[in-house]
């Protein structure tokens, strides 16, 4: 991930923390070498793929919009 604005930085860190992708590449440090390294890590690691698949199975069938609406509804006391 090469974040540029807003929440992309957060999600880049989160992907890396969860072990489902490489660390984000700062756009100021983007080069052929850094991009190649990140792509190799993302595409060449069976451990990364297994963690991503495991997370996908946990999230399957969830509706984030409905879950957020429920949280907001509860927090606002309705």
Secondary structure tally for the chain: helices H, strands E = 4, 0
pLDDT tens, position by position, 25-75: 988 899 999 999 999 988 998 999 999 999 999 999 999 999 999 999 888
Q: How many angstroms separate the CA atoms of 15 and 21, rounded?
A: 6
Instruction: Quote the CA–CA distance of 49 and 41 in Å, as a whole number.
Output: 10
Please give the pLDDT value at position 76.
81
pLDDT one-digit tens code per residue, 42-56: 899 899 999 999 999
Task: Please tell me the predicted confidence (pLDDT) of residue 2.
Answer: 87
Q: How far is CA 27 from CA 8, 45, 52, 74, in A?
A: 12, 23, 24, 39
Band of pLDDT at residue 78, cut at 50, 70 and 90: low
Check residue 45 and report its DSSP letter: -
Record the pTM: 0.73
């Amino acid at each position: 991930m090469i974040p540029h604005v807003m929440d992309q930085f957060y999600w880049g860190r989160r992907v890396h923390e969860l072990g489902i992708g490489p660390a984000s590449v700062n756009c100021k440090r983007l080069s052929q070498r850094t991009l190649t390294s990140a792509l190799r890590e993302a595409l060449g690691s069976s451990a990364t793929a297994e963690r991503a698949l495991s997370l996908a199975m946990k999230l399957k069938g969830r509706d984030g919009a409905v879950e957020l609406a429920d949280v907001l509804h509860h927090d606002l006391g309705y």
